[in-house]
Chains A and B, each alone.
Chain A
C-alpha cells in the first residue's frame, strides 16, 4: 500500500505497540503532525522539548516499554538533547523522532537546520538520518529493536521533510537483521561454576544490586538467590526498588551518600556480587582502596563495563535474569549469621546518629518530610525525584519495596527531570499514586510542564522541598569551598501562587506536625496538588564520601546526642 513518509512513521509506531507520544510540532515535522490525526495514538503537547524527552524517559522507566518523543529540526532537536543524554546515561529504552530540513538543502545551513545525528552521536545508542522515504520503515523498526536490545538506550531517527512528504509502497519489516547488534549471550558455564565456587567459600559476601536488576526483571530471581545464600544486599541509587527495602537482608543505598554501615560492609566484604551495576564513581569512591578484601563476581549485560572501573575475578557478560536462574540452583543454602551480626553492629551505630532520631528543634528537616511522606503513602507510590539533596534524602528515607517505584536521574543528574518524567510515569501507570519530589532549584527548570500536567488532567502530587538554596551545591561549598556560597542562594517564586496560576491547589508547610496531615489531604484530593515544604536552609546530606575519597572515610552528621565519630 502507498503511504507518505509521515504516515509510515505512525504506521510503524502503531505496530510497535506505541499508544502515547510526547512532542512539539514545528516546520520540519509538520507532515508527521498532519498525518498524526489519522492514527490511534495519544499525543501530549509539552511546553518545552526537554519535557518531551524526560516524559518519554519517565514513561519507559515506569513501564519498561519504549518511550517515544518527537521534535522539529534545529532548536526542537537541540532542546531534546538533555533528555536524550539523561536516557543514555541511565539506559532508558526510548525512541526520538525529529524532523529535518529537506534532503535537497541538507548541509546548506538552511532555516532551522542543525546536524542532529552529529550532535546526538555520543548521547544515543544509535541514530540515523533518513533522506529517502524507502528507508524509513526499516529505520524506525530498527530503532525500536536497538532501543530494547541488551542494555537498553535511546535511539534517534532524523527524518528529512521531503522524505516525510514522499510516498512509497509501505511494508513493515517484522524482522530486521542487524549483524552488528550485540545481544546477550547465555551465561558462560565455566564462569558460572567459578562464581558458585566463590559463593560457597565466601564468609562475608555482599550483593551490589543495580539498575540492571530492575531492567532485566530480575527482582524475584534476586530474592530467591538472596534467601538461598543468605547474602545481604546493598543498592545503587538506580537499583532502589529492585530488592525490597523491608526485606531483613536489604541494607539500603551504598556510595557517596549511602548509609555508613553499608559502605563499611562493602569495605569488609570478602566477596562482592555485582549484579547489573557498573561501579560508577559515586558508588566506589577511590578505586584503589575500594572493596580491597573482596573477590568480585560481576554480572553485566554490557561487555564494555567489564573490568572498566573494577577488575572482576569472575566476569559474566550475560543477561542477569538468565544468570540468576542458572546460578541459584548451583549454590548451597547458607546463613551468614556472624557477618550479619557484624553489619548490624555498624547499623546500630548508624541508627543512633540518624536524623530521624534527632529532634528537629522546631525546624522542619527535609529528611523528616521524606520519612513522613513514606509513612503516609505506605511506601507504595511512584516517587519521581529531581536532582540534589532532596534526591539523596528520598533515596535514604523513602523505603521502596517494588521495582520501578523510584524514578530518578542517576547517571546524568539532570535537574528539571522530575515533573516531566512524572507526567510520563503517571501516563504509563495511571492507577498508581505518583509524587514528584523536587528541590526549589530543579523545579523551576521545567515548571512550565505544570500546564502540560493540567492539559492532560493528570493526578500528580508535587512536593517541593524548598531550602532557598541550590542545596547540594551549597553543601559542597560548605564542605570544600570554605562556605563561600557563590550563586547558590536562590530566589524562588511563590510556589503556592505559581501552582494556583495553573489551577493546581497548593499549600505551604513550615511545621513538622503539618506534614502528614497535608500529605493525607493531597492524597484525598482528586487531582493534582502541590505542597511546598519550607525546610531548614543549611542542612546537609550525611554521610558523605568526598568525591574520590576512600569509601570508608565519610563525613558524618555531627552527633548532637553522642560524641566520638568512629568511621
Chain B
C-alpha cells in the first residue's frame, strides 16, 4: 500500500541527501518525493509517498524522525487531505486537432500552455487520479514528453496535521523542541 508522509525539515544543505540515503540504506521504496519552502523561514516541507509493502509506514516514519534535521513527520494517509500533482505533457497535435484537444483538456481543468507546429504542451493540476485520467486520454494521441512534480499534500480543516495525526501508540509522544 502507498503511504503519504509529510516531513518538516531544516532548510540546510544535505538534508535531501540524508533522507535519500536513509531510504536507500533501509530499502524503503519511494514512490515520489517533493521538497519546497513553507510558511516558516528555514523550514522545508517534504511530501513523501512510500510503498509500504515490505516495511510498515511507522518504521519509515520513526527512522525519518531520527534524522536530526527532521523536525516532525506525520503520516497523513488516513487523514482527509488536499492532494495535488502537477504534470506538463507534450502531446502530438496537428493544427487541425488543437480545438478538440483544448476542449478535452478543459474538462480536466487543464490548459494548453505552449503551442508548436505539430505538438502542444498541456498543463494539468489535481490529485493523482485526475492527472492519470487525462494521461490515459492523451496517450492515444501520442505523448512525446512528460514531467510530473509528484504529490504534495495538506490535511483539510483548521489545524496542522501534527495535531490530529493518529500513529502507533507510544510512537509519537516525543516533545518536539528539546533545549540544552
B 67-111 binary contact with A (CB < 8 Å = 1; else 0)? 111110000000000000000000000000000000000000000
A residues less than 8 Å from B56 (CB atoms): 307
Chain A count of residues within 8 A CB distance of the other chain: 34
B residues less than 8 Å from A315 (CB atoms): 168-171
A residues less than 8 Å from B59 (CB atoms): 304, 307-308
Of B62, B68, B168, the residue contacting A180 (CB under 8 A) is B68
B179 adjacent to A177 (CB under 8 Å): yes
A window 161-210: CB within 8 A of B:
175-185, 188, 190-191
Of A117, A121, A306, A318, the residue contacting B62 (CB under 8 A) is A306
Asked if B58 is an interface residue, CB under 8 A from chain A, the answer is yes
A191 adjacent to B178 (CB under 8 Å): no
B17 adjacent to A175 (CB under 8 Å): no
Asked if A507 is an interface residue, CB under 8 A from chain B, the answer is no
A residues less than 8 Å from B179 (CB atoms): 175-177
Of B14, B65, B176, B178, the residue contacting A303 (CB under 8 A) is B65
Asked if B133 is an interface residue, CB under 8 A from chain A, the answer is no
What is the distance, in angstroms, from B167's C-beta to the closest C-beta of chain A?
10
B171 adjacent to A303 (CB under 8 Å): yes
Asked if A316 is an interface residue, CB under 8 A from chain B, the answer is yes
Asked if B147 is an interface residue, CB under 8 A from chain A, the answer is no
- Cα of A271 to Cα of B68 in the assembled complex, Å: 35
With A304-B59, A306-B62 already in contact, the answer to whether A177 and B177 are too (CB < 8 A) is yes
- Cα of A316 to Cα of B168 in the assembled complex, Å: 11
A window 285-323: CB within 8 A of B:
302-304, 306-308, 315-318
- Cα of A523 to Cα of B59 in the assembled complex, Å: 49
- Cα of A315 to Cα of B58 in the assembled complex, Å: 13
B residues less than 8 Å from A184 (CB atoms): 174
Closest A residue by C-beta to B17: A121
Interchain pairs with CB closer than 8 A, number: 87
- Cα of A178 to Cα of B179 in the assembled complex, Å: 7
B177 adjacent to A185 (CB under 8 Å): no
Residue with the greatest number of chain B CB neighbours at <10 A, chosen from A118, A129, A308, A318: A308
- Cα of A176 to Cα of B18 in the assembled complex, Å: 21
B residues less than 8 Å from A180 (CB atoms): 9-10, 67-71
A residues less than 8 Å from B174 (CB atoms): 182-185, 303, 317
B window 1-26: CB within 8 A of A:
9-10, 14, 17-18, 21-22, 25
A190 adjacent to B178 (CB under 8 Å): no
A positions within 8 Å CB-CB of B:
117-118, 121-122, 125-126, 129, 145-146, 149, 175-185, 188, 190-191, 302-304, 306-308, 315-318
B positions within 8 Å CB-CB of A:
9-10, 14, 17-18, 21-22, 25, 56, 58-59, 62-63, 65-71, 168-171, 173-180
Known: A149-B178, A177-B179, A317-B171. 19 other contacts (CB 8 A): A122-B25, A125-B68, A146-B68, A175-B179, A178-B180, A181-B68, A182-B65, A183-B175, A185-B174, A188-B170, A191-B170, A303-B170, A303-B174, A304-B65, A304-B66, A306-B171, A307-B59, A315-B168, A317-B174
